Amino acid sequence: MYARRDLFRVALGSTAALTGAVSVPSHGRCQDLIGDYLAKLPAEGAPPTVEMVPVDKAPRRVAIHNLHTDERVDAVYYDDGRYVPDALVAVNHVMRDFRTGDVHFMEPQLLDLLHILSAKVESDQPFQIISGYRSPKTNAWLHERSSGVAVNSFHMKGMATDIRLQNVDLSKLHKAALSLQKGGVGYYPESDFIHVDVGPVRSWA
Question: Tens-of-pLDDT digits for all 205 residues of the chain?
Answer: 334 333 444 444 332 332 223 333 444 555 566 677 666 655 555 444 444 555 678 999 999 999 999 999 999 999 988 888 889 999 999 999 999 999 999 999 999 999 999 999 999 999 999 999 999 999 888 888 876 777 888 999 999 999 999 999 999 999 999 999 999 999 999 999 999 999 999 999 8
In this prediction, residue 42 carries a pLDDT of: 55
Beta-carbon neighbour count of residue 44 at 10 Å? Answer: 10
Domain range spanning residue 122?
4-204
Our count of domains for the chain comes to 1
Beta strands in the chain (DSSP E): 8-12, 16-18, 60-66, 71-79, 82-83, 127-131, 160-165, 184-188, 193-197, 202-204
How far is 179 from 145, CA to CA, in rounded Å? 31
How many CB atoms neighbour CB 51 within 10 A?
11
Residue 31 has what pLDDT? 59
